[in-house]
Amino acid sequence: MALTVDIISPERKLFSGTATAVQLPGTEGLFQILMNHAPIMASLAAGRVKIDGAKGTEYVEIEGGVVEVSANTVTVLAK
């Protein structure tokens, strides 16, 4: 089992794939999403999204946005 992760900006899709963990730059500080995380919505600050997956660790730079987590799906609407 893995998290499904999509990071989307108004211009293009920045990332689409699976992960074992996702670390996000929340407006209140860094936080991490793991499998079976409770559903949440949170605002994001500028920074790096860290995506740990089968291929190793990948990073995506964002300028802020919103994340929604539900049913092992992480959707980031990035600026």
Residue ranges making up the domain that contains 52: 3-78
Question: Each residue of 37-70: pLDDT tens digit?
Answer: 999 999 999 999 999 998 899 999 999 999 999 9
Return the ∠ at Cα 31 (arms to 58 and 74), rounded to 5°: 60
Sign of CA dihedral 41, 14, 3, 51: negative
Q: What is the pTM of this model?
A: 0.94
Q: 6-30: per-residue pLDDT in tens?
A: 999 999 999 999 999 999 999 999 9
Q: Give the domain CATH number at 70.
A: 2.60.15.10
Number of domains the chain is built from: 1
